[in-house]
Chain A
């Protein structure tokens, strides 16, 4: 069964642009990305849009649908009334390149600033041993498909361009938490999370968790535990006292700051 869907799609580039009105024929069971593709194939051959897998696994087709950050391939048309107009705009936290395509370099720069995993030597039989319960927290964070919707919705940078320098954003707090919880990593990354990544800027309003298409509990499972770990090191008077009077600090669990 097909019907005519009314859409408003943002067309333009950094010089300006506006929401263009389109009517596109769609089928039941389709997703917003299908409608965008049909638009591209029939009415707007040069409509710029990023996409790859069309299955919610690569995180390329991030956009804002009716004002909410979503993956276009995971937004089913059946979630909307057939008479409803669907508005699609590019992500609004990043510089626009053209139409629905934005410049997400911010995220790639932040990725470069983050020191990678650094494991000790393997066991004598050349294997590594980690228990399932010890890797499970990290595995949740590694489900991240890097769609950057959490970064897009995060008001710290969405509403304050000047914070981009000092703030890495939820996606990278996920990475800090993953590495800090890695059973074999040798780095203590708490100072970096606080100073280089600016975790103190986060006021845990949880929008990142709300938009995550993978359902990762970014705030509860990564950011807050990471904040607590920073507190262990920085805002815990006992730790401070221990440092002052020269007691050995066991808090770093044998890890060193990179």
Chain B
């Protein structure tokens, strides 16, 4: 083998040269992996797709999002022309002609779209870039997150700020769920329980975010000079280890709460009241 020739071959090589490129070991298979590497991206694809379809349908629906005392997380805060009892923060966008969900959904959606975990998941499952480790991707060229639109993923921390606000609002909604249908305090139903679980998962997901980890302390060079922030950073770091898990669980929980509210609002089921 000739090093110099090899280098000139590199120079002449077509831009799509990957594992089957001219300098690499000649192996026809795009991967020699024998395990079920396709399972994880396939599962991700199916679940995410299902969620997107469901969420789109519900977001555009513009109805059946409030079943007193429960407000669907897709519509919270309800800032448009919302049904009675749903707007706890006024209706500044009363004139908005479409579903009120569309006003605020950009924030939690943007948070998830730019999330470091979700990025991994959708790059693998939807864009196959790569589908799994050491499995060749189908694209001829690749520029990562250096250009529009993917460069916008760098705005993650701004969505994180918004997501913190959303989490506070959902917490408020959960507190309000300790009422009965007539807004009397001191009651609880299955919906309340679901909302507690959901808001807990939302908080875990939001606080375990990589941008949060950076902001609370990760950006420091001298932990020793900021003991409180270091402590926070170690806590967030521990949560961060389960960020992917929280991303999934909170995705399910948010959809489940919305579904529960939908079923109540449409009268399909009745709320199970505990007290």
Query: Which positions in A face B, CB cutoff 8 Å?
Result: 10, 12-19, 64, 66-69, 87, 89-90, 92-98, 102-103, 131, 133-134, 152-153, 155-156, 158-163, 180-183, 198, 200-207, 210-211, 220, 224-225, 227-232, 234-236, 253
Residues of B within 8 A of A161 (CB): 10, 13, 15, 17-18, 21, 23
CB pair A228–B34 under 8 Å, yes or no, is no
Residue of B nearest to A92 (CB): B19
**Cβ of A183: which chain B residues have Cβ within 8 Å of it?**
221-222
Partner of B17, one of A98, A162, A202: A162
Nearest CB on A from B15, distance (A): 4
Interface residues of B (CB under 8 A from A): 1-3, 6, 9-10, 13, 15-19, 21-27, 29, 31-35, 116, 119-120, 123-124, 129-130, 133-134, 136-137, 139, 141-146, 150-151, 154-157, 210-211, 213-214, 218-219, 221-224, 230, 240-241
Q: A97-B1, A206-B120, A220-B240 are in contact. Are A160 and B133 (CB under 8 A)?
A: no
For A206, the chain B residues whose CB sits under 8 A away are 120
User: Main SS of the interface on chain A?
Assistant: mixed
* CB-contact partner of A133 in B27, B116, B224, under 8 A: B224
Cross-chain contact B136 with A159 (CB below 8 angstroms) = yes
A253 to B9, CA, bound (A): 45
A200 and B142 alpha carbons, distance in the complex (Å)? 11
Q: Which residues of B contact A14 (CB under 8 A)?
A: 1-2, 6, 9, 22-23
Residue of B nearest to A254 (CB): B221
| A-B pairs with beta carbons under 8 Å apart, 13 shown | A69-B133, A95-B6, A160-B16, A162-B17, A163-B142, A200-B151, A203-B129, A225-B213, A225-B218, A228-B157, A228-B214, A229-B214, A230-B154
Q: Is the interface of B mostly helix, strand, loop or mixed?
A: loop
Q: Are A207 and B133 in touch, CB under 8 angstroms?
A: yes
- Quote the shortest CB–CB distance from B201 to chain A (angstroms): 20
Q: Within 8 Å CB of A66, what residues of B?
A: 32-35
The 9 A-B pairs of least Cβ separation, nearest first, read A67-B32, A67-B33, A201-B144, A95-B23, A207-B133, A131-B224, A159-B18, A228-B214, A200-B146
CB distance from A162 to the nearest CB of B (A): 4
Do the beta carbons of A68 and B134 come within 8 Å of each other? Answer: yes
Contacts A14-B23, A92-B19, A131-B224; A201 near B219 (Cβ below 8 A): no
Bound CA span A132–B85, Å:
55
Bound complex: CA of A95 vs CA of B240, how far in Å?
37
User: Which of A162, A224, A225, A230 is packed against the most chain B CB atoms within 10 Å?
Assistant: A162
B156 contacts which chain A residues (CB < 8 A)? 231
Contact in complex: B31, A67 (CB < 8 Å): yes
Q: Report the bound CA distance from A10 to B26 in whole Å.
A: 9
Contact of B24 among A95, A134, A160, A235 (CB under 8 A): A95
* Most chain B Cβ neighbours within 10 Å, of A67, A102, A210: A67
Shortest CB-to-CB span from B137 to chain A, Å, is 5
Residues on A with C-beta less than 8 A from B129 are 155, 203, 205
Report the Cα distance A169→B198, complex, angstroms: 38
In the complex, what residues of A have CB within 8 A of residue B6's CB? 14, 95, 103
Bound form: Cα–Cα A87–B134 in Å: 14
Contact B157 A133 (CB under 8 A): no
- Chain A residues within an 8 Å CB radius of B15: 160-162
